[in-house]
Amino acid sequence: MMAALPDKPYAKPQSLRRVLVLGRALGWVHTSIPLAAKMVEYLGDKTGAWMTTITYDAAAITPENLKQYDAIFLSSTTGEFLDDPSDQAATDLRRRALLDFVKGGKGLAGIHAATDSYHANNPAPTGTWPEFNEMIGGFFKFHWTYPTLIPVKVDDPNSPLTAMFPPRGFEVVDETYTFAQDSFSRKRVHVLTSINYAKMSAEDKAKEPAATRRTDGDYALSYIQRVGSGRVFYEAHGHDEKVYFQRPFVSHMLAGIQYALGDLRADDSPSAK
């Protein structure tokens, strides 16, 4: 991963930036969580784009503590990662602090299982914290297991957040998340990359249960959006450690976090016209 790190930022930081990485998982705990966290730290250190604090304690998400940060990075958080089951007041404070942080003009970036949070299947996939579900862009309903070869389409080849990818698209091997039909929509987010569904094999397509299969064939992988005065970036891959050794992927994360910080300008208008 160290060899894959870019040498310089995509944009000059407007000021000394600070990023808080949260790696708390109350559902599935990915082995790549600490690797993603260190990726953020090393990216900031090498490029000078930001300083990083890593925590696995949701108690760090309070209005007072967040005053010192410009963005939060969710490192494959799962389940109700902000909640304290024994303290509803603390849960409410943390949830409101996160929403106010982003809507008030700061940034949020998430990788992989950040969308495997605050949802349930009863029996249909349902979001359990609608404000967060909408802010992160969708919630998990199915994944193609690792290792599945996924053809990737670059939806916005003119974006600085996709400058590291070949415009014609590329392939990646990882565990690939998909989102519930009504939770992700191009009417809200600006899609950067998505699954080139037309190029997927019939065998791989058939692995997705028909009952929850998207009817539109629209499977976003990374996107950005404005939430209030703030900015959100999400990347669906990041399950397997090997993707963190790939320079284009790591460069994409650098650009996405710089967008969330407000230093890298990009078209974030919804993709649906």
User: Left if phi > 0, otherwise alpha if psi is -120 to 50, otherwise beta: which for 16?
Assistant: beta
DSSP 181: T
Mean pLDDT over 181-201 rounds to 93
pLDDT (tens digit per residue) in 216-235: 889 999 999 999 999 999 99
Question: What are the sequence ranges of the domains in the chain?
Answer: 16-261
In this predicted structure, what is the pLDDT of residue 235?
Answer: 98
Of 209 and 14, the structure prediction assigns the larger pLDDT to: 14
**Buried-state track 88-116, b at ≥16 Cβ within 10 A, e below 16:** eebbebbbebbbebbeeebbbbbbbbbbb
CA 127, CA 150: separation in Å to the nearest integer?
26
Instruction: Quote the pTM value.
Output: 0.96
CATH class of 16-261: alpha beta
Q: The tokens of 129 are what?
A: 């914290």
- Please determine, for residue 123, whether its predicted confidence score (pLDDT) is greater than 90: no
Of 88 and 140, the structure prediction assigns the larger pLDDT to: 88
SS (H, E, C) 24-61: CECCCCCCCHHHHHHHHHHHHHHHCCCEEEEECCHHHC
Mean pLDDT over 2-18 rounds to 97
- Please determine, for residue 208, whether its predicted confidence score (pLDDT) is greater than 90: no
Provide the greatest CA pair distance for the chain: 51
pLDDT-based confidence at residue 111 (cuts at 50, 70, 90): very high
Quick check: 210 and 151 in contact, CB under 8 A? no
Which residue type sits at 140? F
